[in-house]
C-alpha cells in the first residue's frame, strides 16, 4: 500500500539542518503516525512521502517555503531592556510574551533587546531521513477528527 491522501502512515525520521546538526528525531520513540494529505505534516514532508510504502528509506529536503516558512521581519522587534526587569538577557534566551508566544532573543544592546517571534525553524532548509514503518487506511473517525487514533495517535 502506498502513502496517498487519507492513508495513515507511521514513519521514523531524523531532522538535520544543512550543517548536519540533529534538530529532532523519532529514534528511541514510537514512530510518528499521521494522516496524509490533510496538513498534519508540513507540505514538503507530505510531498516527499506521497507514493512511498512500508520499508522505504529515503531523504526529503524541504525548503523554508514548504516547511516552517521564511522569516517574517515584522516578527522581529526591539523592546526596551527595562522591560526585562533587570534580569540578565543574552542572545538565544527564550521568553513567553503575555500573549503566550515564544520569542527568542537575537541581540542585546545597552538600551534595547531584539526579539524574534518567528518559528525557530523559519528560514531553515530541512533535511529529513525517513523510514516508512507502516501504511494503512484511515478510519472514517480518523478522517472526520483529522488525526490518528490508537497506537501513536489520540486515545479517546
Instruction: Give the closest residue to 36 by CA, choosing from 48, 26, 50, 52.
Output: 50
Closest approach, Cβ 33 to Zn ion, in A, equals 12
Strands 102-108 and 94-96: antiparallel
Interface with Zn ion includes 145 (CB under 5 A)?
yes
* Smallest gap from residue 142 Cβ to Zn ion (A): 7
Site string for Zn ion, 14-33 (x = CB under 5 A): --------------------
b/e per residue 144-153 (b: at least 16 CB within 10 A): eeebbbeebb
Residue nearest to Zn ion (CB): 145
Please tell me the distance from the alpha carbon of residue 66 to that of residue 8, in angstroms, as a whole number. Answer: 21
Chain position carrying cell 507540505? 43
What lies within 8 Å, CB to CB, of 4 at 6+ separation is 36, 37, 50, 51
Stretch of 30-38, 63-71, 119-127, 140-148 contacting Zn ion, by CB under 5 A: 140-148
Range in contact with Zn ion (rule: CB under 5 A) among 14-22, 64-72, 95-103, 148-156: 148-156
14 vs 139, beta carbon nearer Zn ion: 139
For position 71 contacting Zn ion by CB under 5 A, the verdict is: no
Part in contact with Zn ion (CB under 5 A); list of ranges 63-71, 93-101, 116-124, 142-150: 142-150
Number of residues that bind Zn ion (CB under 5 A): 2
Q: Enumerate binding residues for Zn ion (CB under 5 A).
A: 145, 154
Amino acid at each position: 500500500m502506498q502513502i496517498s491522501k487519507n492513508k495513515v502512515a507511521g514513519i521514523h525520521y531524523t531532522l538535520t539542518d544543512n550543517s548536519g546538526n540533529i534538530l529532532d528525531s523519532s529514534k528511541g520513540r514510537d514512530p510518528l503516525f499521521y494522516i496524509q494529505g490533510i496538513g498534519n505534516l508540513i507540505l514538503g514532508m507530505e510531498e516527499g512521502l506521497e507514493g512511498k510504502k512500508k520499508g522505504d528509506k529515503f531523504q526529503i529536503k524541504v525548503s523554508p517555503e514548504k516547511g516552517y516558512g521564511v522569516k517574517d521581519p515584522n516578527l522581529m522587534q526591539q523592546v526596551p531592556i527595562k522591560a526585562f526587569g533587570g534580569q540578565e538577557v543574552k542572545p538565544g534566551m527564550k521568553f513567553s510574551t503575555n500573549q503566550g508566544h515564544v520569542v527568542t532573543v537575537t541581540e542585546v544592546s545597552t538600551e534595547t533587546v531584539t526579539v524574534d517571534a518567528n518559528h525557530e525553524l523559519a528560514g531553515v532548509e530541512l533535511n529529513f531521513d525517513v523510514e516508512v514503518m507502516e501504511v494503512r487506511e484511515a478510519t472514517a473517525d480518523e478522517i472526520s477528527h483529522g488525526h490518528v487514533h490508537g497506537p501513536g495517535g489520540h486515545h479517546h
